[in-house]
Structure 1
Amino acid sequence: MTLSYTIKSFDELTNIELYAMLRLRSEIFVVEQNCPYLDLDNKDQKSFHLLYYVNNEFAGSTRLVPAGLSFKEISIGRVVISNSHRGLGLGKKLMEASIEGCYEKFGNGPIRIGAQYHLSRFYQSLGFVEKGEVYDEDGIPHIEMLRV
């Protein structure tokens, strides 16, 4: 299994990459999780996008968000892996690459995420700590987490 990824600004994404990323986000966040929400929130244009591949096939992505756009800290959002690539341990690899990508693009600093609460232990294994109270976002319990 060959794993690879690329990090691009919004303007650097090809039409094919952009379509694949947005299609996957819609497939998982809107259809699978049954959350009708506006994914296109005008943050993509100001963020970097990590596109993850397995054997040169698009498998997942994250959005690397500069400080001040979602939170006062750098952030990682829109973490998604396709159904066909789940169960391969890609979640951890995707997040490790995203953390390194944040440091590469924005410099070292704390990273804040809005995590689905049931994934809290997974994010703790990557150095994130729960901050604040559980809150509802689109019918799914979430919690803010910080990695310093």
Structure 2
Amino acid sequence: MISLKSLHEMTPLEIHQLYKLRVDVFVAEQNCPFNEIDDQDAHPDTRHILACDGDTVVGCGRVFPTGTGSRFGRFVVHP
């Protein structure tokens, strides 16, 4: 199932799984350390794309506003 939610609409478990997946892939697997949790995640106009297998987040991305439109970022799929 694919859903589109703001951080405020997500359950605590979805938020945990979102951040865990991003850290597992970007920081641990790809050795690309950076501030994984940023203010853009909680911006009221940011939407998180969640790909779930049952109750488990297996992929995610986000769409957020910029000064000239919107930007896609932080797309990841469980290995």
Query: For residues 27 and 34 of structure 1, what CA distance do their matches in structure 2 show?
Result: 10
Number of residue pairs matched by the alignment = 76
Unaligned 5+ runs, structure 1: 84-148
> Is 1:7 paired with 2:4?
yes
Q: Which amino acid aligns with 1:45?
A: A
Give the TM-score of the pair, scaled to structure 2.
Answer: 0.87
Equivalent in the alignment of 1:81: 77
User: Deviation string for 1:76-107 (max 9, x for gaps)?
Assistant: 11100001xxxxxxxxxxxxxxxxxxxxxxxx
Deviation for aligned residue 1:58: 2.2
| Aligned CA-pair RMSD | 1.2
Query: How many Å separate the matches in 1 of 2:36 and 2:71?
Result: 16
CA displacement at 1:67 relative to structure 2:
2.8
More displaced, 35-44 or 22-31? Answer: 35-44
The answer to which structure, 1 or 2, has the higher relative contact order (CA under 8 A, 6+ apart) is 2
Aligned equivalent of 2:58 = 59
Give 1:73 shift: 2.6
Tell me, in whole angstroms, the C-alpha distance in 2 between the residues paired with 1:58 and 1:48: 15
Report the Cα distance in structure 2 between the residues aligned to 1:53 and 1:40, rounded to whole angstroms. Answer: 20
Structure 2 unaligned spans of 5+: none
Aligned residues: percent identity? Answer: 33
- In 2: Cα distance, 1:66 partner to 1:37 partner: 21
1:49 corresponds to 2:48 = yes
Give the aligned partner of residue 33 of structure 1: 30
The secondary structure found in structure 1 opposite 2:8 is: helix
Q: Which runs of 4+ in 1 moved over 4 A?
A: none
Q: Which has the larger radius of gyration?
A: 1
